């Protein structure tokens, strides 16, 4: 299957995302337009430019800045929607007088960015025809499901590492395989046995950021609930979401969840219905793709 090619120029990418943000919420679109007008997007790939995507605040002017190295693929659209989500969060708490409150806990920063990605899925017609929009949506939902077992493996692995300080190299990779067999079911690694045993080498968090990885699951569960709320009552969901964004880091994480009208609860009571809804979407999008 050919790769999705959603845009031909940087302008098409930034104005397309601007259009999507504006369709989610007028203020989101206006804020992102300000970033375009003030040249706060450095998106194109250049020789010697780092292949990274990130958003950074510019604290003196209280405006966000986005750095990317775009190559023209679906991945770039989602990266700009994600980093744009972080940027919209910055706009939301821009008027907060205390510098320390003009940032939020990591988990909630990712709730903001991941929610914007999910809320954007309804407007992918900006970049794609019907079939390709369904394909991009289906892939996004599949990645969303795949995140949870991955987080389960990596977080459990780190707990084991730190509670078994005397372990040998062999025991470490055996433990990794145990966890892959427990969480990553149904993936065929035949012929890739060595890569399977050492796959964890490719996860920088294991080396650099102990116990950080679980934060992606915490945030995605929040983002999925915002997406779920928006399907029942878009205006109400966006209003609560924006109220939580405005609080920046002035409140603890559970309170940010409460204001966003989502549950700070990671039990199966929350996860099971969310995953069922996402899986139904995977099936629905796959049907639309093939029509």
If you count DSSP H runs as helices and E runs as strands, how many of each does the chain have, helices first? 12, 3
Which residue lies nearer to Zn ion by CB, 35 or 134? 35
Task: End-to-end CA distance of the chain: give it in Å, rounded.
Answer: 16
Contact 8, 77 (CB under 8 A): no
CB of 130 to Zn ion, least distance (A): 29
Which residue lies nearer to Zn ion by CB, 216 or 264? 216
Separation of alpha carbons 38 and 189, rounded Å: 48
CB of 63 to Zn ion, least distance (A): 18
Which residue lies nearer to Zn ion by CB, 10 or 113? 113
Site for Zn ion in 101-120 (CB under 5 A): 113
Separation of alpha carbons 98 and 81, rounded Å: 27
Which residue lies nearer to Zn ion by CB, 55 or 225? 55
CB of 114 to Zn ion, least distance (A): 8
Residue 244 main-chain phi, psi, to 5 deg: -70, -40
Which residue lies nearer to Zn ion by CB, 113 or 121? 113
Is 237 near Zn ion (CB under 5 A)?
A: no
Q: Which residue number has the CB closest to Zn ion?
A: 113
CB of 193 to Zn ion, least distance (A): 33
Site for Zn ion in 21-60 (CB under 5 A): none
Place of tokens 């604290």: 59
Instruction: Give the closest residue to 69 by CA, choosing from 30, 113, 13.
Output: 13
Separation of alpha carbons 31 and 16, rounded Å: 14
CB of 54 to Zn ion, least distance (A): 8
Size of interface with Zn ion, in residues (CB under 5 A): 1
Interface residue list for Zn ion (CB under 5 A)? 113
């Amino acid at each position: 299957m050919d790769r999705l090619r959603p845009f031909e120029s940087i302008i098409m990418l930034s104005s397309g995302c601007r259009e999507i943000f504006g369709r989610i919420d007028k203020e989101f679109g206006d804020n992102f337009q300000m970033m375009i007008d003030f040249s706060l997007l450095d998106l194109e790939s250049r020789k010697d430019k780092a292949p990274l995507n990130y958003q950074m605040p510019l604290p003196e002017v209280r405006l966000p800045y986005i750095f990317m190295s775009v190559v023209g693929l679906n991945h770039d659209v989602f990266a700009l929607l994600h980093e744009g989500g972080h940027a919209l969060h910055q706009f939301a708490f821009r008027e907060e007088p205390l510098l320390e409150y003009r940032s939020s806990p990591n988990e909630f920063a990712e709730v903001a960015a991941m929610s914007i990605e999910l809320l954007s899925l309804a407007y992918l017609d900006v970049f794609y025809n019907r079939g390709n929009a369904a394909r991009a949506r289906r892939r996004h939902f599949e990645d969303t499901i795949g995140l949870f077992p991955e987080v389960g493996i990596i977080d459990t692995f780190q707990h084991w590492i730190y509670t078994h300080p005397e372990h040998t190299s062999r025991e470490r990779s055996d433990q990794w395989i145990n966890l892959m067999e427990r969480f990553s079911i149904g993936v065929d690694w035949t012929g890739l046995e060595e890569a399977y045993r050492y796959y964890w080498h490719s996860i920088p968090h294991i080396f650099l950021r102990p116990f950080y990885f679980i934060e992606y699951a915490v945030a995605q569960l929040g983002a999925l609930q915002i997406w779920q709320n928006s399907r029942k009552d878009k205006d109400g969901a966006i209003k609560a979401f924006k109220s939580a964004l405005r609080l920046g880091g002035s409140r603890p994480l559970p309170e940010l969840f409460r204001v966003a009208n989502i549950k700070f609860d990671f039990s199966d009571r929350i996860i099971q219905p969310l995953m069922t809804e996402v899986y139904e979407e995977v099936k629905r999008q796959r049907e639309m793709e093939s029509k």
